[in-house]
Amino acid sequence: MTRKYFGTDGVRGRVGTLPITPGFVMRLGYAAGRVLTRTSTTGGKPVVLIGKDTRISGYMLEASLEAGFAAAGVDVMLAGPMPTPAIAYLTRALRLTAGVVISASHNPYHDNGIKFFSGLGSKLPDAVETAIETAMDDPIDCVPSESLGKAKRLDDARGRYIEFCKSTFPNELDLRGFKIVVDCAHGAAYHIAPDVFHELGAEVVAIGNQPNGLNINDGHGATAPEALSAAVREHRADFGVALDGDADRLLLVDASGRVYNGDELLYVMVKDRLAVGPVAGAVGTLMTNMAVEVALKKMGVGFARAKVGDRYVLEVLQERGWVLGGEGSGHMLFLDKHTTGDGIISALQILSALKRSGKTLAQFTEDMVLFPQKLINVKVAPGYDWQINGAMVAEKNAVEAELGEEGRVLIRASGTEPLIRVMVEAKSAQVAESMARRIADKLAV
């Protein structure tokens, strides 16, 4: 069955336009409540935890979800603004039925979305999301009054999560001697991330920590690391940590202001683990730079590619019994630390590697040089299938023939926005740029 509403990261769109309207979200909460009640293994009355990022629309959507769950007989706990991975952790720690996050991650404030976590703290399987969509075709109803859900606030959510993040950092290490600029993207970690690094001993300079409901991801965070690079140089810091709006992704900046993406951080992760024991393998995505695959294979580490999206990286990790994975965008997975991608915890793992080794990020990655990539995003109509565009298919085939074994082409539809992403990887930036442009120029919609 083709899913109508769920993309690679839940349901997402522009606020006020289907599916991100109060009525739709209430129906979504009701349908999810019914499905989760049927599939729950926790026993007793189902309880769902709801968190959100700092978008102004979060208030409206939180109320709509709460109403839908209550009508289905599901109790609700409200955590307020919290990182996505915090909701995953708290759902599991409190033995709840499910967790829900109201966020559009790295998107601008006028977008929002809904994503779900199971009681185990992992993204819902595709089959469960499909069941929720099917249930939405049924008319909304209401359980008897005595069975309606109740709502209450989870007052200690912030403190619980801060302690959890700190617990993933080695007991024998601290961050004393490090000056770190933390860019919270005016998002969900604004009142959490700076405290985590400070409590572990670092001198912290916080930026992007003044949310007003409209400035999330605006000129700050993992999608706009220029502000962090400038702040690191200005404050003469050792590192910069850039999170996105819901704090599930990470980019790092070194003392020179140089940005390190998720592909490079995945390499650092594996290299650090190899220093203390064997690493069976790591998982990237179709977008992961070829240099990572080549470098890991040289070190005797297996490498597998998943579809784009951290949920698919997680699936491949679980299939293979591995624990390390990531995306170039900064979604990192340490399955021995958390069940889902977590920007704060990922930063702590990288910083612990640097602290333990005494090396800089540049020294850690000097033996791996990324192949130039060019990514072009082309706006299209929702649901557009680029493979019916004969001119584009022909150009893609021609480019692949020219590249041979010295590069690759990847074209895919975004799972969260009406975009076709055209990526070309080659030995030179000029070749990657020109070939990506050749293909994208054939996409006339």
pLDDT for 36: 85
Reduced to 3 states, what is the DSSP secondary structure of residue 419?
Answer: strand
Q: Which residue stretches of 334-425 are H helix?
A: 343-357, 361-365, 390-403
pLDDT attached to residue 43: 67
Q: Where in the chain is the domain with CATH 3.30.310.50?
A: 373-440
CB 154 within 8 A of CB 79: yes
Report pLDDT digits (tens) over 141-199. Answer: 999 999 999 999 999 999 999 999 999 999 999 999 999 999 999 999 999 999 999 99
**What does DSSP assign to residue 300?**
T
Please state, in angstroms and rounded to a whole number, the distance separating the CA atoms of residues 319 and 333.
Answer: 14
Which active-site residues does the annotation give? 105
Q: List the one residue out of 219, 11, 244 whose CA is nearest residue 105.
A: 244
Q: What is the amino acid identity at position 252?
A: L
Considering the domain 11-156 in this protein, what is its CATH number?
3.40.120.10
Rounded to whole angstroms, the Cα distance separating 104 from 115 reads 9
Q: How many CB atoms lie within 10 A of CB 288?
A: 26
Class of domain 373-440: alpha beta
Superfamily of domain covering 177-258: Alpha-D-Glucose-1,6-Bisphosphate, subunit A, domain 3 (3.40.120.10)
* Residue 290 and residue 371 in contact, taking contact as beta carbons nearer than 8 Å: yes
Domain with CATH 3.40.120.10 in the chain: 11-156, 177-258, 261-365
CATH for 261-365, among 3.40.120.10, 3.30.1360.170, 3.40.50.360, 3.90.470.10?
3.40.120.10
Alpha-carbon gap, residue 255 to 177, rounded angstroms = 13
Write the pLDDT tens digit of every residue in 279-289.
Answer: 999 999 998 99
The Cα 341–Cα 332 span in angstroms is: 5
Instruction: Look up residue 58 and give its DSSP letter.
Output: H
Residue 411 half-sphere exposure, CB side, CA atoms within 13 Å? 24
Cα distances from 314 to residues 121, 171, 271, 291, 389, in angstroms, run: 12, 27, 20, 21, 32
Note the pLDDT tens digit of each residue in 94-121: 999 999 999 999 999 999 999 999 999 9
**268, 339, 382 from 274: Cα distances, Å:** 10, 22, 44
Mean pLDDT by 10 residues, the chain (445 residues): 78 96 97 86 85 98 98 97 98 96 96 95 87 93 96 97 98 97 98 98 98 98 97 98 97 98 97 95 94 93 93 94 96 96 98 95 94 92 90 95 89 86 92 95 76
pLDDT at 54: 98
Q: Report the Cα–Cα distance between both ends of the chain, in Å, rounded.
A: 26
The pTM score is 0.89
